Amino acid sequence: MNIFRYTGRLHCWLYRLTSGVFTGLASGTPVLLLTTTGRKSGRHFTTPLLFLPDREDLVVVASYAGRDQDPQWWKNLQAHPEGSVQVGPHRWRVRAEPASEELKKHLWPVFCRYYPQYQEYQKKTSRVIPLVVLKML
């Protein structure tokens, strides 16, 4: 197991323990916990992600730190679009879909202002980093 998995698990544990009081913000941007169903294993996986609200929806970035493949959580949602999120003490069921080009044009610069590394991640990869809309069910 690599350091990122340990860090992610610790982040999730602290988030759940404190209802997001600790680890609920990163770079001034709110953090949610996204739980997906593994496309191969059927197991549940939880990932902390920066998000921005868009009306009643939540939007996250599938950057995978600029790697050339999509992150596992996005692959899982493409196979099984329903999951759940926790924001602070609140939990919802969600359905994921790729953001429209119009929404991405509007929100990508906002994400990059909060977390400038996203621009570097996009330069590192040949894929277009998607934004993912999490619609409340």
How far apart are alpha carbons 73 and 95 in whole angstroms?
Answer: 13
Average pLDDT, the chain: 92
- CA–CA gap between residue 48 and residue 107 (Å, rounded): 19
CA dist., res. 7 & res. 27, Å (int): 17
Q: What is the pLDDT of residue 35?
A: 97
Percent with pLDDT over 70 in the chain = 93
Q: Which two tokens stand for residue 91?
A: 């939990």
pTM of the model: 0.90
How many Cα atoms sit within 13 Å of 120 on the Cβ side?
4
Residue 4: what pLDDT? 64
* Strand (E) or helix (H) holding 104: helix 101-114
Give residue 21's pLDDT band: very low, low, confident or very high (50, 70, 90). Answer: confident
User: pLDDT tens across 24-81, in order?
Assistant: 667 677 999 999 999 999 999 999 999 999 999 999 999 999 999 999 999 999 999 9
CA angle centred on 102, ends 99 and 106, rounded to 5°: 95
d(CA 85, CA 94): 7
- How many other CB atoms are there within 10 angstroms of residue 64's CB atom? 18
pLDDT at 132 over 80: yes
Q: Which CATH architecture has domain 3-136?
A: Roll (2.30)
